[in-house]
Amino acid sequence: MKRNTQSNNEKVLRYSLRKYKLGLASVTIGAIFLSFAAVQGVKADEAVSTPDSSTQVEQADPSLTTSGLVTETPTAPVAAENATVFKENEPVSLPEENTGRTGIPKLTETSENTPKTVGTNNSQTLTNASEDPIAEGTIRLHFQELPSPDKASLGLWTWDDVETPSSQKGAWPTGATSFAEAKQDDYGVYLDVKLSSTPKKLSFLINNAAGTNLSGDKAVEILSPQMNEAWIDKDFQVYSYQPIPQDHVRINYFRTDGDYSNKSVWYWGDVKDAPSNWPDGVNFQPNGKYGAYLDIPLTEAAKSIGFLLLDESKIGDDVKIQPNDYKFSDLKKLVSFSYEILIRQSTPTLILLRMYV
């Protein structure tokens, strides 16, 4: 039984990366907007910062001006109409939202002096170690909360770009895949759905044995051939990335060796439950999309946060993975624009991943 989808319930992920290089006395900002074909790459403006003990990393604001500004040139060609450069002493504001659709970027290690890019074909992408691998041609649907604790009474009814629509498996509502088959993860439960050969959209609903549509008709837009996961929150809103809890900041840490043992975050500022027994920081969760991650809870009306990455297997100053502090002084924008923080193993570079819908 085919169901009509409601497009206003769909949420689409886009990325914006912002690069800042900051010193003790001046701010250096280079903003480059790269335009690629949809689903072939990331449409992004990159931004990177090198921390030091007095660094303040702030989101661009119309009132912010810069001095000593230099620009950077990407290795890939950029069409003139898609390249934007902020000039010295010119007010810097957030760029217009990029409406291109992209998949979730995969990370590679690059040298600090090479322009930072995010591609879509990297075998080093990490999967959640607590979950089974995702089979090729399959999408994993993560559900934060089900309509009933009795999973056996619930079914996932699918149509559109799936290998076998539920209507071909049986009559309504028994053709649905039983949630008794669902497995547990750190978000909730998940089911895997086999897609058609060239999928664009997976439509679904959750029903029960009585034939009640408990979730309403929903849809996952397949943003790229590499996309193989989607997250559905307790209100059945669909995301192509794992949502950040409200009033939290997410720090991602990517290591090529995949070793996150004894790695932790020491943080302070307008946060809840800040660590207090140096150097015993708060451990990363090892199963993030970009490696390990940590969601830091913020206080009400939080304005600023500082943090350090630690390797607790070492002693003295060597416990600091990078010697200087990272500081953000405009958390309102960081949180309201759904930025995530990303730091990579071999460089003090800090990247802001903008995930918005």
Task: Compute CA 49 distance to the chain's CA centroid, rounded to the nearest angstrom.
Answer: 19
Q: Please tell me the predicted confidence (pLDDT) of residue 347.
A: 79
Q: Which residues pair with 45 in a beta bridge?
A: 33
Host H or E run for residue 333: helix 331-336
List the one residue out of 163, 175, 157, 160 whose CA is nearest residue 136: 163
Q: How far apart are CA 45 and CA 353, in angstroms?
A: 10
Output the pLDDT for position 355: 59
In this structure, are residues 161 and 201 in contact, taking their beta carbons and an 8 Å threshold? yes
Q: What was the pLDDT predicted at 27?
A: 28
pLDDT score for 288: 73
Residues in the chain: 357
Asked if residues 291 and 252 have their Cβ atoms less than 8 Å apart, the reply is: yes
Query: Is residue 261 packed enough to be buried (19+ CB in 10 Å), middle (13-18) or exposed (0-12)?
Result: exposed
| CA–CA dist 221, 227 (Å, integer) | 10
Cis bond before residue 115 (omega within 30° of 0): no
* The two three-digit tokens of residue 122, written as one number: 């990297």
Q: For residue 118, which amino acid is it?
A: V
Cα–Cα distance for residue pair 247/250, rounded to 1 Å: 10
Distance CA 175, CA 165 (A): 9
* φ, ψ dihedrals at 184, nearest 5°: -90, 145
Predicted local distance difference test score (pLDDT) of residue 186: 82
DSSP H or E run through 331:
helix 331-336
Q: Is 99 exposed, middle or buried (0-12, 13-18, 19+ CB in 10 A)?
A: exposed
The pTM assigned to this predicted structure is 0.53
Predicted confidence at residue 118, as pLDDT, reads 31
Domains of the chain: 127-239 (2.60.40.1110), 257-337 (2.60.40.1110)
pLDDT value, residue 160:
98
Which structure tokens are listed for 197? 């050969």
Q: Can you list the residues of the chain whose pLDDT is less than 70?
A: 1-131, 354-357
* 297 vs 265: CA distance, rounded Å: 13
